[in-house]
Amino acid sequence: MQINTLLQETVDIAQKAGQIISSRWEKARDIKKKGRIDLVTDTDLAVEAYLKKSLAGLVPNADFLAEESASSLELGANKTWIIDPLDGTTNFAHHIPMVAVSIALWEKNAPLLGVIHLPILKETFCAGHGLGAHLNGRRIQATATAEMENALVATGFPYSIDRDVDEVLAPLRRVLTAARGVRRPGSAATDLAYLACGRYDAFYELGLKPWDTAAGLVLVREAGGRVTRFDGSPYAPGDRDILATNKYMHPEMVRILKTGDPETKNN
């Protein structure tokens, strides 16, 4: 199957998965805890089951790396569907509309396509390798912002915040004092999609899993942005930290996250 055809089939599946979320939006949530602040709902499980059944027919013998059923974080040698059935479960539990279905297809540690569908906001972001990135059928591009004082930066906080709070607060303090503003919507897939379409200029976070970032990485790259680790080294889904920016902001964000503001440190 051609990549553009496969991408459209994946978009259709993501949107149908989103209908499951939308149909349950006003209903009572069956919420359980996976950790102290890490939630799972019956909707997460229903959407994941639908996605695995539907995507299995698109690519024969493909593996799955899915949030609610993964036994490992490793990508295999085969094509692998990396899926988050409901990114932003805490948002869903509190009726905050930043929730997303995130689907990526990778092969041998290289991305082939990514789809992020926001069912409550009715936005579908998609990208295929070499095909560019799109929002509801319209081509999108990362921003050209080059100065931190003009930048809107997104971030998030890990479920391990109780033990990682100092590691989170140190870079946050530097970014807050350097950027125009910082946002924390609570869905990494949404953050990366918003960066790809020019709503944010940069995004960084600690402690994300492969299903949080795999689709967004494809979107950002195809929209002309960059994705690395905090120190500028190559990023792979599941790494400890991620930095995504437009192509102009990257060096400054690396400096701030890695060493802080040089001018402040030397004063």
For residue range 145-155, what is the model confidence (pLDDT) as tens digits? 999 999 999 99
Helix (H, G, I), strand (E, B) or coil at 200: coil
pTM over cut 0.85: yes
Distances in Å between the alpha carbon of 144 and those of 28, 155, 199, 225?
A: 43, 19, 11, 10
pLDDT of residue 120: 97
Task: Name the residue type at position 32.
Answer: K
Which helix H or strand E contains 214, and what residues bound it?
helix 210-222
DSSP characters over 41-102: EHHHHHHHHHHHHHHHTTSTT-EEEETTT-S-----SSEEEEEEEEE-HHHHHTT-S--EEE
d(Cα 204, Cα 16) in Å, to the nearest integer?
30
Q: Each residue's pLDDT tens digit in the chain (267 positions)?
A: 799 999 999 999 999 999 999 999 987 667 765 556 455 788 989 999 999 999 999 998 899 998 766 655 566 668 999 999 999 999 998 999 999 999 999 998 889 999 999 999 999 999 999 999 999 999 999 999 999 999 999 999 877 777 888 888 999 999 999 999 999 999 999 999 999 999 999 999 999 999 999 999 999 999 999 999 999 999 999 899 999 999 999 999 999 998 654 443 333
Helix (H, G, I), strand (E, B) or coil at 216: helix
Helix (H, G, I), strand (E, B) or coil at 103: strand
Q: Which residues contact 217 (CB under 8 A, 6 or more apart)?
A: 104, 111, 114, 192, 227, 235, 237, 244
Going by their DSSP bridges, the two strands 138-140 and 181-183 should be labelled as unpaired
Domains observed in the chain? 3-140 (3.30.540.10), 148-266 (3.40.190.80)
